[in-house]
Amino acid sequence: MTLWEWFGIAILAVVLGSYLLMLVAIFADIFRDHELGGLGKAAWVLGLVLFPVLGALVYLIARGDSMGRRQASRHVVG
């Protein structure tokens, strides 16, 4: 293998790892959100399973702001 092939594999591994961590964070946010009902949770999970990249992008656009607020409220010291 050449150096460029190793470099390509390393870049691919970083991108795949980042994507998997993002999916875990999205699934955790879906199931921690008490305002989202069961049907909404099922729809988001189904969308993420059937269309992973598009579903993650739509979720982050549609609910990314509230996702950040929920994450920040969990880490408030006081």
Domain membership of residue 4 (yes or no) is: no
Looking at residue 77, its pLDDT comes to 64
Residue tagged 């049907």 (tokens): 39
Domain count, the chain: 1
Read off the pLDDT of each residue in 10-27 and give the average, rounded to a whole number.
94
Looking at residue 66, its pLDDT comes to 83
Looking at residue 65, its pLDDT comes to 82
Domain membership of residue 27 (yes or no) is: yes
Domain membership of residue 15 (yes or no) is: no
Q: Are 21 and 35 in contact (CB under 8 A)?
A: no
Domain range for 59: 23-78
Q: What tokens does 69 get?
A: 């607020």
Digit-coded pLDDT (tens) for 27-77: 999 998 888 899 999 999 999 999 999 999 999 999 888 887 888 777 776
Residue tagged 């880490």 (tokens): 75
| pTM, 2 dp | 0.78
Domain membership of residue 37 (yes or no) is: yes
Domain membership of residue 10 (yes or no) is: no
Report the distance separating Cα 1 and Cα 72, nearest Å: 45
Give the Cβ contact number of residue 29 at 10 Å: 20
Domain membership of residue 14 (yes or no) is: no
Domain membership of residue 57 (yes or no) is: yes
